[in-house]
Copies of this chain bind each other. A is one copy, B any other.
């Protein structure tokens, strides 16, 4: 069983696709200063699913003393960026929508699971769920990305 190779359209084995996905995500996270400041860790990677985790710190709180919506959004958005780029072509977020069913609090361990809903041609659609350590849903996120024709890794890199 094989999957289309990201850079050339050639077929890759599932193991190779997984290896490639990990390489793309490691490279992106290595450059991603904002995700590193937030303490975001990538805890699961596969070609159509990425999970990221982050612990809510005091410097992520808003004027009401709960986690700033922007910090929660950033965790979900990073998970989206990683999963949508695993295929190997540079993908850019176009539209995101987020809802907050429950607040996140200082010390909470949040996990964002980003899962591909659909993809075709230049567009792909994702759902991200953010839950706390007790499994409570604190955010639901929907993201659409545009896939450019640029590969993450060119020959010689």
Which residues of A does B touch, CB under 8 Å?
Answer: 27-35, 37-38, 58-65, 68-71, 73-75, 77-78, 81, 90, 92-102, 117-120, 122-123, 125, 127, 137, 140, 142, 144, 146
Point out the residue from B37, B90, B99 that lies within 8 Å of A95, measured CB to CB.
Answer: B99
Q: Determine how many copies of this chain the complex contains.
A: 4
User: Complex: how many Å from CA A123 to CA B95?
Assistant: 11
Q: What residues on B are CB-neighbors of A77 within 8 Å?
A: 68-70, 73
Contacts of A58 in B (CB 8 A): 33
Q: Report A46 CB to chain B, min CB distance, Å.
A: 18
Among B74, B123, B137, point to the contact of A71 (Cβ < 8 A).
B74
Within 8 Å by CB of A98, from B38, B71, B95, lies B95
C-alpha spacing A3/B69, complex, angstroms: 30
Q: Which residues of B contact A34 (CB under 8 A)?
A: 59-62, 68, 70-71
A96 to B137, CA, bound (A): 16
Specify which chain B residues have a CB less than 8 angstroms from the CB of A98 in the assembled complex.
Answer: 95-97
